[in-house]
Amino acid sequence: MSTSKPTPSILILGAGCFGLATAHHFASCGYSHIIVLDKDSEFPSRFSAANDLNKVIGAEYADPFYTDLTLEAIHNWQTDPLDVVEKYYLSVQSHPGFKGQVRRVTGHAETKELAPGFTGPVEGWSGYYNKLAGYAHSANALEAVYKACPALGVKFKLGHMDGEAEVLLYASSLRNGMTCIGARTKGENVHPADKTIVALGASTPTLISSIGKQMTGRCWGIAHIQLTTEEVRSLRGSPVTNVRDLAFFFEPDHETNKLKFCHMGGAFTNFSGGSKAESGLSIPFTTPSESQFIPADDERYIRQLLREALPGLVDRPLIDAHLC
């Protein structure tokens, strides 16, 4: 007879990148009572910022902790001030994990050598090329982890009534004080748990009011350009390119032939979310359809990047625009 101690029950709120990764990790480590809630009825969740064609993978951080963490993540996948770029470069140049993987890039000729598909002038471009970075097929990764979790015993509850946590539940004791003991959904379903993990990203303050203004939800504009098969051919294999003051973009998506752009400015906030916003909280829109646009400034920066790198596409319509 086994005398092993039972594992605690775990309730995870949110089935985005962090929620799914946490569920899969705990299940892989032997935890057998895991439930994940998400308010979307579809999967991957449209409320997750990770539900996207692709996301950059890179380990350029000023804090060595995050550099080490990203290198560990990359390994697992395989088995602004003017001196910001310099700090990023130094963080990877001195790290043993990047030996021989990073080099400086200066000027038109060296940029074209790395990205011959860039037909624009790319004048004045300088930075560095990191062979150890790249991108992930983000939505596909979410779906793969989601499909792998049930085989490990993870259960999912989706949709506004079954999967949207409305209230965290607490119990008090002389020994432990106030302790979270689970959550109740909009449909009045109660999910008790020994441990409750909130992985709701920018929506966290809507559930944990005590966080208040300590947390500010921010978003960035994403847009795409639809390419032809011939246009894709010339850009296939192009490195992820981040022109800091304008935008970053990826090689065309292999399935859809879409070219994705994002202007990484100071981000946008949303204080229009009803009573929560009136309390001074910036939170996401309540439905995906409300965020299907990008600000005019974002389009202006993307068009400028196109003039610099891909002038033949500068007047092409931007499609699938949304806030992330």
Selection from 75-79, 135-139, 221-225 with the highest mean pLDDT: 221-225
**Confidence (pTM):** 0.77
Same domain, 166 and 291: no
Residues 265 and 294 in one domain: yes
Boundary of a domain, candidates 211, 242, 260: 211
DSSP 3-state helix, strand, coil percentages of the chain (rounded to 5)?
35, 25, 40
252 occurs within a structural domain: yes
The answer to whether residues 156 and 19 belong to one domain is: yes
What's 223's domain CATH number? 3.30.9.10
- 189 with 315, same domain: the answer is no
Residues 241 and 297 in one domain: yes
Question: Which residue's entry shows tokens 């775990």?
Answer: 10
What residues contact residue 155 under an 8 Å CB cut-off, 6+ apart?
34, 35, 36
Give the count of domains, the chain.
Answer: 3
Q: What is the arithmetic mean of pLDDT over 280-288?
A: 83
Burial of 188: CB neighbours in 10 Å, binned 0-12, 13-18, 19+: exposed
Question: Which domain does 99 fall in, by range?
Answer: 59-132
Alpha helices in the chain (DSSP H): 17-28, 64-78, 84-93, 107-114, 138-148, 160-163, 229-235, 274-278, 296-309
Residue 83 has pLDDT above 60, yes or no: no
pLDDT tens, 224-252?
999 999 999 999 988 888 888 899 888 89
Give the mean pLDDT of 108-132: 86
- Residue 138 burial (CB < 10 Å; 0-12/13-18/19+)? buried
Calpha distance 29→22 (Å, rounded)? 11
Last residue of a domain, one of 211, 232, 266: 211
* Distance in angstroms (rounded) separating the CA atoms of residues 38 and 77: 25
